Amino acid sequence: MLKQASALAAGLLAALSVWAAPTVEMTTSLGKITLELYPEKAPKTVEMFMYNAKHGFYEGTIFHRVIDNFMIQGGGFLPAMEEKKPRTPALQNEANNGLTNERGTLAMARTMDPHSAKVQFFINLKNNDFLNHRSPADGRTWGYAVFGKVTQGMDVVDKIAKVPTGNAGYYQDVPVTPVVIQNVKIISEK
């Protein structure tokens, strides 16, 4: 009976792992952040993020824009504020996916062009409803695509949010001491 129960439990765990969301671990100079990704909601965004993670693109990049009580942004610049050349094309905006920019969510950064996101991302420090997708009736249809959330390490995110910032050339809100993304390791792909 015990043997059957163990076999059943193992089978259930295996079945659940098939449905588990992809997970990555981001190691920063201030600690580790575990992120769960949502390919069913933002398939192309997750695919490109995973591609960049697998190929080491994020290694050595920094959180280059930190605004306490708003968000921390990273993934596109090196410590000397040199932009790292993306290997992937701009994405079609996937903000109309039902996910919202709530505290702890991971979203794509972009320019004013709604379809310009490539590699930069941000983690929301609070609920930022104004970044969400809106209906055409609201006059602003494109938001910022949420594609994951922090599952562990929100204390690290909050620590990053509190670092002293200043200007670096024409960039504002840049940490005085770089917060380096040492690597982004894929823990599970499904």
- Residue 181 parent element (H or E): strand 180-188
Q: Check whether 16 has a pLDDT greater than 50.
A: no
Closest CA to 144 of 52, 45, 75, 38: 45
pLDDT tens, position by position, 90-136 = 999 999 999 999 999 999 999 999 999 999 999 999 999 999 998 76
Cβ–Cβ < 8 Å for 107, 101: yes
Average pLDDT of the residues in 125-154:
88
- Residue 160 sits at φ, ψ, to 5 deg, of -60, -40
Q: Tell me if residue 64 falls in helix, strand or coil.
A: strand
Q: Check whether 4 has a pLDDT greater than 90.
A: no
Question: What pLDDT does residue 116 have?
Answer: 96
Q: If pLDDT is split at 50, 70 and 90, which confidence band does 5 have? A: low
Rounded distance between C-alpha atoms, residue 137 and residue 63, angstroms: 35
What pTM does this model have?
Answer: 0.88
- Residue 74 parent element (H or E): strand 71-74
pLDDT tens, position by position, 46-87 = 999 999 999 999 999 999 999 999 999 999 999 999 999 998
Closest CA to 108 of 133, 84, 83: 133
